[in-house]
Amino acid sequence: MVSKPIQEALNKQVQMEAESSQAYLAMASWAEIQPGLEGVSNFFFQQSDEERVHMLKLLRFINERGGFAVVPELQQPMLTFPSLKKLFEEFLKHELKVSDSINDLVHLSLTEKDYATHNFLQWYVNEQIEEERTARTLNDKLELIGDDKSGLYLFDRDIMNFRGPGKK
Ligand code: FEO
């Protein structure tokens, strides 16, 4: 059975994952209407789907542990981006925020002596290592490329290969 503080914190995480899914969907949509960013757009459509899976996993866990998972109200995400670089900076910033939130949850699970939740959260801890690595790699690459058009062409073409192991 989940305690009240754990249930509340897990529900907050449900909201964060749902908002991540929306944020990446908005990035995918913006990229889709820019010339030559099909790869980036596909990357974020896929990223958005993954965040929905993260959200669902949490939602089902809360209910399985005798709590009540609340489907959250969502804020509208950032819809347009001044540049590709800015978009990827937002991506990294967002993932770092998610990591902080997961870390707080892990801490809470220990202070509440909720070892089932602690165990469940390890999957998210590992996932965040991957997500942060992917976001950092992509930002580093864009930094290197700068305004080089052929570099950007290759970046868009190869973006799916920059994802961490285990991701398609
Ligand atoms: Fe589910 Fe990318 O955080």
- Expressed in angstroms and rounded, the spacing between residue 82 Cα and the centre of ligand 1 is 23
For residue 164, the model assigns a pLDDT of: 65
- Expressed in angstroms and rounded, the spacing between residue 4 Cα and the centre of ligand 1 is 24
Q: What is the pTM of this model?
A: 0.95
For residue 165, the model assigns a pLDDT of: 61
- Would you list the domain boundaries of the chain? 4-70+81-161
For residue 168, the model assigns a pLDDT of: 54
3-state secondary structure of 104: helix
Separation of alpha carbons 136 and 130, rounded Å: 10
Give the architecture-level CATH label for domain 4-70+81-161. Answer: Up-down Bundle (1.20)
- Expressed in angstroms and rounded, the spacing between residue 123 Cα and the centre of ligand 1 is 11
The predicted-structure confidence for 89-148, as pLDDT tens digits, reads as follows 999 999 999 999 999 999 999 999 999 999 999 999 999 999 999 999 999 999 999 999
DSSP 34: S
The predicted-structure confidence for 19-77, as pLDDT tens digits, reads as follows 999 999 999 999 999 999 999 999 999 999 999 999 999 999 999 999 999 999 999 99
* C-alpha 9, offset from chain centre: 17
Whether residue 39 contacts residue 159, with contact meaning beta carbons closer than 8 Å, is answered with yes
Least confident of 3-7, 50-54, 74-78, 161-165: 161-165
Reported residue count of the chain is 168
The set of protein residues with a Cβ atom below 6 angstroms from ligand 1 is 17, 20, 51, 54, 95, 98, 131
How many CA within 13 A on the CB side of residue 69? Answer: 17
Whether residue 69 contacts residue 59, with contact meaning beta carbons closer than 8 Å, is answered with yes
Separation of alpha carbons 38 and 50, rounded Å: 18
User: Binning pLDDT at 50, 70 and 90, where does residue 160 land?
Assistant: confident
- The tokens for 88 are 């990827």
- Comparing 94 with 165, the larger pLDDT belongs to 94
Q: Which atom of ligand 1 is nearest to the CA of 124?
A: 1
Whether residue 19 contacts residue 137, with contact meaning beta carbons closer than 8 Å, is answered with no
